[in-house]
Structure 1
Amino acid sequence: MQEPGSAAKPAPADTPVGELIEERGELSKHARRFGLPIATCLVMGNIIGGGIFRLPHDVAAYGTISLVAFAILTVGAIALALVFGRLAERDPRTGGPYVYAREAFGDFAGFLAAWSYWITSWVSNAALAVGAVGYVNLLFKVDGSWWTMCLAALVVQWLPGFANLAGTRYVGAVQLVATVLKFAPLLLVAIGGLFFFDADNLGPFQASDSNPVGAISAAAALLLFSYLGVESAAVSAGEVRDPRRNVGRATIFGVLGAAFVYLLGTLAVFGTVNHEKLMSSQAPFSDAVNAMFGGTWGGTAVALAAVISILGALNGWTLLSAQTPFAAAKDGLFPSMFAKKERGVPTTGVVITVVLASILTVYNYASGQGKDDSEVFTLLVTVTTFMATVPYLLATAAQIYYLVSGQGARVNRSRLVRDSVVAVIACAFSMWLVGGAGYEAVYQGVMFLFVGVIVYAVMSARKKKAGTPPV
């Protein structure tokens, strides 16, 4: 502790947040900055949640043309990854899109990025928990009354919450173990399925009545949720070791790893499960394993992998859901209670996020909507997708602003051209996400944003009253 009357030596302005914390003795034995492997696992673990176990069934109605949508989404996700990597080089602070938007456009844009990303996080957590119930039911037979399914979803939410409250050291450990364990069965289907591939199972290239462009867009609307999480390393930049170098690398490696599993896994399922059966399947990866090796043991194995995958995704998303409001609270744009941090984790933000996701889960089941998990899951997913487009679009707009205004981190002409092309692709991808979310999700998302405007008005008034007017 600093002695009374002594002055602390100021740190350089570009010192990473994680280094400042460590220098000031604020890193306890429970808080440890992530290296490149853990940061990569955080990105992959957040991108690959429980959705991959449903994806082949969800897009089967559009035929194998959905693989084209997958490829386009992958290009957009990589463009976003490159943008986040370049922005992290400029400003490697915790908060990701919030930090970038506020630095470029001021408090209001930063608040909108933080607010929408925070809503994205806890609505996504509720969606993942609801999606896990079907797999938990295969393992433990919890299906029955609404409250037993609701209880299962709440347990799935709170276990990662407790891991986060234990500190970043345990968050990283859980993320590493969950990522490794869930990749074993996924790679079994993705690679092993190619040896049992039968082209007759693929069905038509375009199974829907819409034109090719419409079919690709419709399939993409269901697949958009799959790539949420590309910003994970950037949001937690303050907890990443050497963030200027590792955030971009972890983001690229994580996206490429996720894309490999997504594309190869979906193709393998398409080629091992008959198209008609796949359209009615509720466990496509289980059916693929059964078709490959015979028997019915695949359902249990894949259900276990799905639960592990979702727990890993929730573990990472719970951390991210607290990091952005933490950064905003430090700047006076979120209530100060979000700025409390223990063991390297914004504990108050974690608790509030888990509680809100739990309330949303209970509401959906208690109101009767939870009787059909797939409908609840789809609604929550599309709302999540729309809300995620706001911070994505603001971050890409910030990169475009820096490049056009000549603040592109002193890049040479060839780098400037490349960064400009990537930024435009990422911006177009973000706009496509808005269209793919659908009218109902956009309507509900806009209502969330309007509530945020009121919250910003109150926080801005408090800042001005305290003598610190917003930027």
Structure 2
Amino acid sequence: MSSAKKIGLFACTGVVAGNMMGSGIALLPANLASIGGIAIWGWIISIIGAMSLAYVYARLATKNPQQGGPIAYAGEISPAFGFQTGVLYYHANWIGNLAIGITAVSYLSTFFPVLNDPVPAGIACIAIVWVFTFVNMLGGTWVSRLTTIGLVLVLIPVVMTAIVGWHWFDAATYVANWNTADTTDGHAIIKSILLCLWAFVGVESAAVSTGMVKNPKRTVPLATMLGTGLAGIVYIAATQVLSRYVSVFCNGSFRCSICNQCFNYPR
């Protein structure tokens, strides 16, 4: 690939953070808020693990940058390991892409009720997957642009929630909502970890894209660490402020709880 078509640090960081904050930022705040403020321990443990993995990719990219990331590195040990890693990685991505498509259709069904029917929903999901497949076929530059634009659009409401939402923050309510999962603290933390780990799928994005990155020995490590750190900070800020609004006494939906707490709407 010519250097003119390769992406720099900003775009590469956007790819890493955007891949991690795609469906996760849409799914996790409400799900983790239902567990309570104790989910912060799940975030801390998950972020430590994600940053450790990001550091491994960063070091590998510094020493021996290769197109394919984890697939190429496993192949250095043994061709069989490389093949196995590649097959599992692509299958995981296929499943993940389907989950993202289903999530998108689920949110679109709020505006287009016809998507609540299985047949239109299935067609819409397939269409979404193929649209983004076509974008990927256009090359890395288009992918990085789309991902960066998507990241900015996602960050606007999330950052606003994380900042403005603290205006209604109340320590007493936060403590009362510390564990709303109807289980022990240990089980609640484990449950939150399982959800939080989904948020960091995509930490390998920069390493996998080494071949389309300018100066990969510098760009890939920085983009991996910066993108992972940015995603972690935004996730914690957004989910913790939202956990204050899911009252332990509210039997309604997550949305109704927010409206009641902030604007005194009826439950």
Listed one character per residue, the Cα deviations across residues 166-211 of structure 1 (whole Å, up to 9, x for unaligned) are: 2222212211211111110111111111112123443342344644
Unaligned runs of 5+ in 1: 1-20, 296-471
2:88 maps to 116
1:235 maps to 208
Match for 1:181 among 153, 178, 181? Answer: 153
Match for 2:240 among 254, 257, 267? Answer: 267
Match for 2:111 among 116, 123, 139? Answer: 139
Listed one character per residue, the Cα deviations across residues 410-455 of structure 1 (whole Å, up to 9, x for unaligned) are: xxxxxxxxxxxxxxxxxxxxxxxxxxxxxxxxxxxxxxxxxxxxxx
Cα distance change of structure 1 residues 275 and 252 upon mapping to structure 2, 3 Å threshold: farther
How big is the shift at 1:65? 1.4
Confirm whether residue 46 of structure 1 aligns to residue 19 of structure 2.
Answer: yes
1:91 maps to 64
The amino acid across from 1:154 in the alignment is I
The CA distance in 1 between the partners of 2:116 and 2:38, in whole Å, is: 37
Q: Give the 4+ runs in structure 1 shifted more than 6 A.
A: none
How big is the shift at 1:68? 0.7
The CA distance in 2 between the partners of 1:67 and 1:79, in whole Å, is: 18
Per the normalisation by structure 2, the TM-score is: 0.90
Alignment of 1:8-407 (within 5 A): 21-22=1-2, 32-103=5-76, 105-202=77-174, 203-208=176-181, 210-277=183-250, 281=253, 288=258, 291-292=261-262
How big is the shift at 1:292? 4.1
Cα contact 2:247–2:257 (8 A) shared by 1? no
How big is the shift at 1:132? 1.5
Cα contact 1:74–1:259 (8 A) shared by 2? yes
- Superposed CA RMSD in Å reads 2.4
Unaligned runs of 5+ in 2: none
The CA distance in 2 between the partners of 1:120 and 1:262, in whole Å, is: 22
The CA distance in 1 between the partners of 2:264 and 2:66, in whole Å, is: 51
Cα contact 2:46–2:193 (8 A) shared by 1? yes
Structure with the greater relative contact order (CA < 8 A, sep ≥ 6): 1 or 2? 2
Listed one character per residue, the Cα deviations across residues 16-57 of structure 1 (whole Å, up to 9, x for unaligned) are: xxxxx43xxxx7xxx811100000000011000122233233
Task: Describe the SS at the equivalent of 2:114.
Answer: coil
How big is the shift at 1:236? 0.5
The CA distance in 2 between the partners of 1:217 and 1:81, in whole Å, is: 22
Fraction of identical pairs, as percent: 33
The CA distance in 1 between the partners of 2:121 and 2:48, in whole Å, is: 37
Task: Describe the SS at the equivalent of 1:64.
Answer: coil
The CA distance in 1 between the partners of 2:67 and 2:99, in whole Å, is: 25
Cα contact 1:43–1:255 (8 A) shared by 2? yes
Cα contact 1:60–1:275 (8 A) shared by 2? no
Per the normalisation by structure 1, the TM-score is: 0.52
Cα contact 1:189–1:289 (8 A) shared by 2? no
1:425 maps to none
The amino acid across from 1:89 in the alignment is T
The CA distance in 1 between the partners of 2:222 and 2:259, in whole Å, is: 33
Cα contact 2:177–2:247 (8 A) shared by 1? no
The amino acid across from 2:105 in the alignment is V
Listed one character per residue, the Cα deviations across residues 318-361 of structure 1 (whole Å, up to 9, x for unaligned) are: xxxxxxxxxxxxxxxxxxxxxxxxxxxxxxxxxxxxxxxxxxxx
The amino acid across from 2:127 in the alignment is V
Cα contact 2:19–2:147 (8 A) shared by 1? no
The CA distance in 2 between the partners of 1:80 and 1:243, in whole Å, is: 18
Cα contact 1:93–1:237 (8 A) shared by 2? yes
The CA distance in 2 between the partners of 1:74 and 1:197, in whole Å, is: 24
* Residue correspondences, number: 265
How big is the shift at 1:133? 1.6
The CA distance in 1 between the partners of 2:172 and 2:126, in whole Å, is: 42
